[in-house]
Structure 1
């Protein structure tokens, strides 16, 4: 069953975050994932959630998301992301 990694991210240091942006999708692809949404200007339909940048990545399964997120390949980029952003992420299964 497909699964989605939903990310709400605020990039606090764009210059230092560039390396992450340049390298992340090749690692995501390695684990069977690909981006389906990246939006810096979402429209609030209800409530008060206003992501700075909303990213949704589609993977074949939650296991693929967990393998990606906990991989040695991602670890150096995870450090860059954590140093230059504030964010939240969830994994959710599709229908």
Structure 2
């Protein structure tokens, strides 16, 4: 069953964040993931959720998504994201 990492992100330091943007796609691909939504400015339709940007990454399995998040070689990039952005991340499995 497909799994999705959904990221609500506000960029605080774009210069630092650029390193993450350039290098993280290789790790997503390494774990058979792909961008479904890549850093778009969403249009709020209901409620008070006001994300600045949204990213959705699809993986074939929940384990693949967790493998990506736990990849030791990607941790330095996640540190860059944590230091240069304010973000919220959830993992959700698909219906099919």
Does residue 8 of structure 1 match 2:25? Answer: no
Q: Secondary structure at the match of 1:77?
A: helix
1:71 Cα offset (Å): 1.0
Q: Which residue is equivalent to 2:40?
A: 40
Q: Which residue is equivalent to 1:50?
A: 50
With the length of structure 1 as denominator, give the TM-score of the two structures: 0.96
Unaligned runs of 5+ in 1: none
1:41 Cα offset (Å): 2.1
With the length of structure 2 as denominator, give the TM-score of the two structures: 0.95
Q: Secondary structure at the match of 1:73?
A: helix
Distance 1:69 1:76 in 2: 11
Distance 2:11 2:40 in 1: 11
Distance 1:70 1:39 in 2: 22
Q: Deviations over 1:53-90 (max 9, x none)?
A: 10000001110111110111211101111110110000
1:42 Cα offset (Å): 0.9
Distance 1:48 1:40 in 2: 18
Q: Which residue is equivalent to 1:28?
A: 28
Distance 2:94 2:2 in 1: 5
Distance 1:38 1:21 in 2: 10
Unaligned runs of 5+ in 2: none
CA RMSD of aligned residues (A): 0.9
